[in-house]
Structure 1
Amino acid sequence: MWSVLLVFAATYILIAARRLSILPIGRPAGALAGACGMVLLSVVDPGAGLTPEAAFAAIEPNTIGLLLGMMLLSASLDMAGVFEHAAAWVARRRLSPVRLLYLVTLGSGLASAVLLNDSVCVMLAPLVDRTARRAGLDRVPYLLALAMGANAGSALTLAGNPQNMLVGHLSGISYRTYLLEAGPAALIGLAVTAVMLHLLLRRRIAARTPSLDLAPEPERDAAPARDPAQGAAAPPGSARPNAAVPLACIAVVSLLFVLGANLAWTAIGGATAAILLHRRDANGLFERVSWTVLVFFGALFIVVAGLQKTGMPEQALRAVSPYLPAGPATGVLGLSIAMLVGCQIVSNVPFILLAESYIRSQPDPHLAWIATALVSTLAGNFTLLGSVANIIVVETVGAEREIGFRSYAKVGVPVTLASTAAALLWLLLVR
């Protein structure tokens, strides 16, 4: 048991302290090392860790499949230049700094609800950064708006982020049911996020009305394909695909989600349809998929399953259960506080896996699962490390010096507390 706990702790040290000078291997590699450690334990001590077969079985295929499908659909939009056309449209409106802040926050949030928050941040971060720079604006408020808006808005649907995908699988709640019950609360949380960002950053955005010019450079379409984190580029000598194809595929996929189709295969099928309808080499599309994110979550499933096998999470739950709120409403509040704290320590997906038995033990499990999806998503805005989307935005545009852990927390903590409180209040009042 203790050997498993040691592997689990070492894994999260590698994940949280990804820039350790002794082993700077990064989050996906740290999670992969932990997964290998769990399998190795079963060889050294047959009663500990996971066998190779059990390790593969621990990976949740519906979550990974849905992630892959949504990433491919987002990448198809990027290859078609949809995001750049949207940025150019915004530029022509010559918005004031305040209106631009609201547009980035709300726009990234709504886009994340349909696509995927991580993918949206990968595609939009370079465009938001360039928009602010060309307008002579402080880019920090708009990068924060992109990250926090994408996190908050992704709570709208079960396909908006990895943790909601996991909640949908574990709870059995349908896409349509979640949208109807949690959607209004998530919209309130997104609106509060935008207002709080405005209030907290008003001094930094109080500048002249910018004259934006985001027309794509003439040579951009002929530029070679680049890493997704560096923005989109079409393959040499080829024109961009027709934007109507991915837009139509996403519309159909979203409709099928609402009608109750399998989320993972619907997303993968929609991405496949987009590839077939483009009738061209799809290598550039697959290059835009964040494979490291898929590796990261797949390995986390194995690490958490190894810990769950020991029974330690259940033992901890039984030990603290006498001190936890017992009523339907108070139980959700207690769960929400645990989510806010736990998601900062071990990230949202593994914490949901560890807290699964606690969530199921609530007086109203259905409400508890809805609250789990909402709070674990909004909790991503609490600290810089609370969400992968935050790291994507900061690292994609090289803003590590401007947006550090403390500077992010000064904005993220009040934004998260206010948006979470507003979303939960609506959810409890309606229920």
Structure 2
Amino acid sequence: MHAAIVLLVLVLTYLGMMAGRIAWLRVDRTGIALLAVIALLASGQMTLDDFGSAVDMPTLALLFAMMIISAQFAESGFIDLCARTITGWGGGTAGLLAITVAIGGALSAVLANDILIVTIAPLLIAGAQRRGFDPRPFAIALAAATNAGSAATLIGNPQNIILGAMGHLGFWNFLRINGVPALFALIVVFGVVWLQWRRRIRDAIPPEGREPPPVTVHPIDRNQMIKGVVALVALLLLFSTRLPRETGALIIAALLLANRKITSRTMIAAVDWPLLLLVSCLFAVTGALNDAGIAAKVLGFLDDYGLLPNNLLLLVPFAAVTSNMIGSVPAAMLLLQIWPTPPAGVLYALALLSTLAGNFLLSGSLTNLLIAEQAERIGVRFGFADHARAGVPIALLSLAFAVLWLALTHILPVLPHPAGAGQP
């Protein structure tokens, strides 16, 4: 009975992840995960102590610290300055698009994407409108470049942080393996968006006689910007030491919170608390699967029939489908509970493939949805078809190169191992 209840809660939770919300209620993925934990607590399948022990605190600590560091860049005006650099570009429109992709990709590799997008997207979209351009290609380029750039590093997005923490992956080794496919994906983003939207980019659309709605602007504070850059460089240096990543990140975050200009309340308010709650609840829900003995049975079944995704033939469709159906974070956490000690190559490949696959659909990543939401607030419709027109070829081309790269560098084999050989 215990296993049946846990399995029912897990299935309902992941159906909710797939839907994204409960249709007749205003409950999103975080709310669904929280309700699942409460259901497990109320039914006696889990205690609060179980909940606490299921949560991987180093993962949450690193996520939190990266959000604080990213808030420093936002509040200092650094991200605003990047947006002004893009919209103030005086060269050709191809250069304007290229600098959008370059800045979006570079920042997403080291900053929390939600804070980055909420800050830069409104400024970019409004700036494009003021110059008489159709803002949609720039919004699409920013979304796709952010997804692609975040695939390069261990701190680029939440799923990378989770996979890196649970698998004890090295920061620089991660960059060495995933950096080249991420860079290629950025080139693909520019090429596809330019080819598909070049006429709308080249032919400026006359403004409609009204200014875009006002957007939040952070004043430029050069001292605080320098402080943020120094903090980020120090963090990367700490990643080269034996100090645990989460400890180093928390030290840097603490130094930034001790600030004479930006209040700690402002910095802490920038943290994506719903995301941290979602991750915590998913740790608990998927952990219950392991406690009930279900995870071991599923692992044994997959191993016996040669279905463990320890090869590109199985991992590519798994990453592509789950990232667009239930989300990369829930998919990664479910896989790690069922298969707690996968080879490092699987983790590197999953981080890369699931992130690049997020460009397929508008719902494929939180970044896409945030940009669509920011565009709508300014009065720009950025719909499913607009995104898919460029997103599908971007995802297909970047995934094809990623698979080729992973195979040629022997990170992961193309074909499955013989049955029974995959279980560690």
With structure 1 as the length reference, what TM-score do the two structures score? 0.83
Determine the structure 1 residue equivalent to 2:147. 151
Question: Aligned with 2:258: secondary structure?
Answer: helix
Pairwise CA distance, 1:367: 1.9
Q: Partners in 2 of 1:204 and 1:232 — Cα distance?
A: 27
Aligned to 1:374: 352
Separation in 2, partners of 1:334, 1:391: 27
- 1:165 deviates by 0.8
Partner of 2:315: 335
Q: 2:331 aligns with which of 323, 326, 351?
A: 351
Aligned equivalents of 1:94 and 1:301: distance in 2?
48
Instruction: Name 1:215's counterpart in structure 2.
Output: none
Q: Which of the residues 58, 61, 65 maps onto 1:62? A: 58
Match of 2:254 among 251, 272, 292: 272
Q: Do structure 1's residue 113 and structure 2's residue 118 form an aligned pair?
A: no
Q: State the alpha-carbon separation in 1 of the partners of residues 217 and 63 from structure 2.
A: 20
User: How is 1:220-369 mapped onto 2 (pairs within 5 angstroms)?
Assistant: 231-233=216-218, 242-278=224-260, 281-321=263-303, 324=306, 331-356=311-336, 365-369=343-347
Q: Report what 2:422 is aligned to.
A: none
Q: Provide the rounded CA distance (Å) in 2 between the counterparts of 1:57 and 1:360.
A: 16
Are the equivalent residues in 2 in contact too, given 1:384–1:405 (CA < 8 A)?
A: yes
Cα drift, residue 149 of structure 1: 0.8
Which residue of the partner structure matches residue 46 of structure 1?
A: none
Deviation at 1:327, TM superposition (A): 11
What does residue 167 of structure 1 align with?
163
Pick which of 195-204 and 113-122 moved more. 195-204
Q: Give the whole-Å Cα distance in 2 for the aligned partners of 1:210 and 1:369.
A: 48
* 2:134–2:204 CA contact under 8 A, matched in 1: no
- Asked whether the 8 Å contact 2:360–2:394 carries over to 1, the reply is yes
Deviation at 1:104, TM superposition (A): 1.6
Paired residue secondary structure (2:25): coil
- Please tell me the residue identity of whatever aligns with 1:87: A
Structure 1 residue 325 displacement after superposition: 7.2
Q: Name 1:133's counterpart in structure 2.
A: 129
Give how far 1:118 is off.
2.5
Instruction: Tell me which of 163, 176, 190 is aligned to 2:186.
Output: 190
Letter in 1 for 2:28: G
Deviation at 1:86, TM superposition (A): 2.3
Query: CA separation in 2, counterparts of 1:204 and 1:316?
Result: 51
Shift of 1:374: 0.6
CA gap 1:239/1:36 in 2 versus in 1, 3 angstroms? same
Q: Percent identity?
A: 30
Aligned AA for 1:415? I
Letter in 2 for 1:185: P
| Offset of residue 208 of structure 1 | 4.0
Alignment of 1:40-51 (within 5 A): 40-41=42-43, 43=44, 49-51=45-47
User: When the two structures are superposed, what TM-score results if normalisation uses the length of structure 2?
Assistant: 0.85
Contact (CA 8 Å) 2:22, 2:28: kept in 1 or not? no
Check the 8 A contact 1:109/1:151 in 2, yes or no. Answer: yes
Q: Does 1:412 align with 2:397?
A: no
**In 1, distance between residues paired with 2:11 and 2:254?**
39
Number of aligned residue pairs? 402
**2:323 partner letter:** C
Q: Is the 8 A contact 1:106 1:191 kept in 2?
A: no
Q: Structure 1 counterpart of 2:313, which letter?
A: L
Is the 2:62–2:250 contact (alpha carbons within 8 Å) kept by the matching residues of 1? yes
Question: Over aligned residues, Cα RMSD in angstroms?
Answer: 3.0
Aligned pair in 2 of structure 1 residues 320, 132: CA closer, same or farther (>3 Å)? same
Distance 1:58 1:198, change over 3 A: farther
Q: Which letter does structure 2 place at the counterpart of 1:343? A: S
Q: Does 1:8 align with 2:10?
A: yes
